[in-house]
Amino acid sequence: MFKLKIKEMKCLSLFVFSLLLFSCTQKSNQLSAQKTDSNIDKVVKSDAEWKKELNDLEYKVLRKAGTERAHTGDLLNNKADGIYICRGCQLPLFDSKTKYKSGTGWPSYYEPINETNVAEDTDYHLGYARTEVHCARCDGHLGHVFEDGPQPTGLRYCINSVSLDFVEREKK
């Protein structure tokens, strides 16, 4: 009788142990899935909401893929040290260290702040293919990227000033 009980207990503990083991592996699987998932949580708003938050030009450029007039942007000649963020959702997009004077009349950068925040698409608005760039979080239109930029990338991110805001870097 006693022996049977021990056997039963052994069986039970084995069962509990395997349950624990199973739940542990489940958890670590979930964690690794989160780690490898670099998708950004999207900011999704209705047209009416964007219209309320943005002024006419910001709305036209960010939400309708418009273009500000050359040489009119308030950040075109900004030489301060800091980060350029999305005017629609504040996601960091470009570092001032990669900004350069292109002479085009729009703020220009040779690379985005990272590979995930600035997304690309192809547009044919002018009748030929151009690579459009937009904010990966709110899909706000930023500008275009061309292959006539300076080294080290050879790229020119031609960005509407009105799509951006600037945050000065804290001095250490």
Q: Residue 118 interacts with Zn ion (CB under 5 A)? A: no
Beta-bridged to residue 132, according to DSSP, are 121, 144
- 11: annotated active-site residue: no
Which of these segments, 12-20, 34-42, 76-84, 132-140, binds Zn ion (CB under 5 A)? Answer: 132-140
Per-residue CA distances from 81 to 36, 43, 98, 165, 171 (Å): 32, 27, 10, 13, 9
Who contacts 140 (Cβ-Cβ below 8 Å, separation ≥6)?
Answer: 62, 63, 86, 87, 88, 89, 134, 163
Which of these segments, 12-20, 32-40, 70-78, 88-96, binds Zn ion (CB under 5 A)? Answer: 88-96
Q: Residue 135 interacts with Zn ion (CB under 5 A)? A: yes
Instruction: Tell me how far apart the alpha carbons of residues 112 and 158 are, in angstroms, rounded to a whole number.
Output: 11
Size of the site for Zn ion (CB under 5 A): 8
Instruction: Tell me how far apart the alpha carbons of residues 171 and 114 are, in angstroms, rounded to a whole number.
Output: 22
Instruction: Tell me how far apart the alpha carbons of residues 102 and 142 are, in angstroms, rounded to a whole number.
Output: 17
Q: Residue 89 interacts with Zn ion (CB under 5 A)? A: yes
Instruction: Tell me how far apart the alpha carbons of residues 98 and 109 are, in angstroms, rounded to a whole number.
Output: 5
Q: How far is the CB of 25 from Zn ion (least distance, A)?
A: 37
Tokens of residue 115, six digits: 């590979």
Which lies closer to Zn ion via its Cβ, residue 19 or residue 132?
Answer: 132
Q: One of 86, 89, 138, 158 is an active-site residue; which one? A: 158
Q: How far is the CB of 143 from Zn ion (least distance, A)?
A: 13
Q: How far is the CB of 137 from Zn ion (least distance, A)?
A: 5
Q: Residue 86 interacts with Zn ion (CB under 5 A)? A: yes
Within 61-80, which residues bind Zn ion (CB under 5 A)?
Answer: none
Q: Which residues bind Zn ion (CB under 5 A)?
A: 86, 88-89, 91, 135, 137-138, 140
Give the residue numbers annotated as catalytic, written as ranges.
158
